[in-house]
Amino acid sequence: MPYPFTLRPLPYSYEALCPEISDTTLHFHHDKHLQTYVDNLNKALADCAPCQRMTLEELLQNLDALPADKRIPVRNNGGGVYNHYLYFDCMAPRSCSRPSGALARAIDTAFGSYEDWKTRMKAAAVGQFGSGYAWLVCDSSRCVSVVQTANQDCPLSKGQYPLLCVDVWEHAYYLDYQNRRADYVDAWFSLINWPFVESRYDGCCK
Ligand SMILES: [Fe+2]
């Protein structure tokens, strides 16, 4: 994804994730919140030709190499774009599927079982203080782990490859769940697009 960045449509209809996530939430989340990150990222890069030649992933992987006045805007708004696209792409109409293949084996190795991974992922999502995300990431050895990030920080900036994320900013769930973040996370598990996540794992570190 190169500059200028654009708002990509959702990979499903606004009603597709009901009742776990309402069409009202998706309209606000995608059309308003994500659009704002896209616009602000483009504004931040408008006077930086070297930045414009980098992909979104390259920008986030090389924050320290950017001009000093671009690091925070890219961290916040570039992260806002990347993190949201991954969040939306990692969901699909209710599938109740589970991971399979190499990713399932990596999850079993790291956490003991899929259920143990869910426990860790939920604890990370519910326990993230304030706004942020919980992630399943993999490292250069293809080992997977669960991490938290605050605000719009992205694991790419720490050398980790994101496989899956859940957005725990209140805008992601407050209209549907009010203060019940744990209920939102429980519902989110049933929306995970495991074939997509598996394809990211299969492609990472190659
Ligand atoms: Fe969000």
Identify the pLDDT of residue 94: 75
Identify the pLDDT of residue 2: 83
Identify the pLDDT of residue 65: 95
Compute, in angstroms, the gap from residue 135 CA to the centroid of ligand 1.
14
Compute, in angstroms, the gap from residue 134 CA to the centroid of ligand 1.
12
Compute, in angstroms, the gap from residue 169 CA to the centroid of ligand 1.
6
Compute, in angstroms, the gap from residue 178 CA to the centroid of ligand 1.
15
Whole-angstrom CA distances from 8 to 1, 20, 53, 102 are: 10, 22, 20, 30
Compute, in angstroms, the gap from residue 30 CA to the centroid of ligand 1.
8
Compute, in angstroms, the gap from residue 33 CA to the centroid of ligand 1.
7
Identify the pLDDT of residue 153: 97
Q: CB within 8 A of 118, min separation 6: which ones?
A: 189
Compute, in angstroms, the gap from residue 112 CA to the centroid of ligand 1.
30
Identify the pLDDT of residue 1: 75
- Tens-digit pLDDT profile for residues 163-186: 999 999 999 999 999 999 999 999
Compute, in angstroms, the gap from residue 165 CA to the centroid of ligand 1.
11
Compute, in angstroms, the gap from residue 23 CA to the centroid of ligand 1.
14
Compute, in angstroms, the gap from residue 168 CA to the centroid of ligand 1.
7
Compute, in angstroms, the gap from residue 171 CA to the centroid of ligand 1.
6
Q: Is the dihedral of CA 3, 4, 10, 14 positive or negative?
A: positive
- Evaluate whether 87 touches 185 at the Cβ level (below 8 Å): no
Four-CA torsion 24, 30, 35, 40, nearest 10 degrees: 110
Compute, in angstroms, the gap from residue 162 CA to the centroid of ligand 1.
16
Identify the pLDDT of residue 205: 66
Per-residue pLDDT of the chain (206 residues; tens, 9 = 90+): 789 999 999 999 999 999 999 999 999 999 999 999 999 999 999 999 999 999 999 999 999 999 999 999 999 999 999 999 999 999 999 776 899 999 999 999 999 999 999 999 999 999 999 999 999 999 999 999 999 999 999 999 999 999 999 999 999 999 999 999 999 999 999 999 999 999 999 988 66
Identify the pLDDT of residue 96: 67
- Alpha-carbon 103 to chain mean position: 18
Compute, in angstroms, the gap from residue 109 CA to the centroid of ligand 1.
30
Compute, in angstroms, the gap from residue 167 CA to the centroid of ligand 1.
6
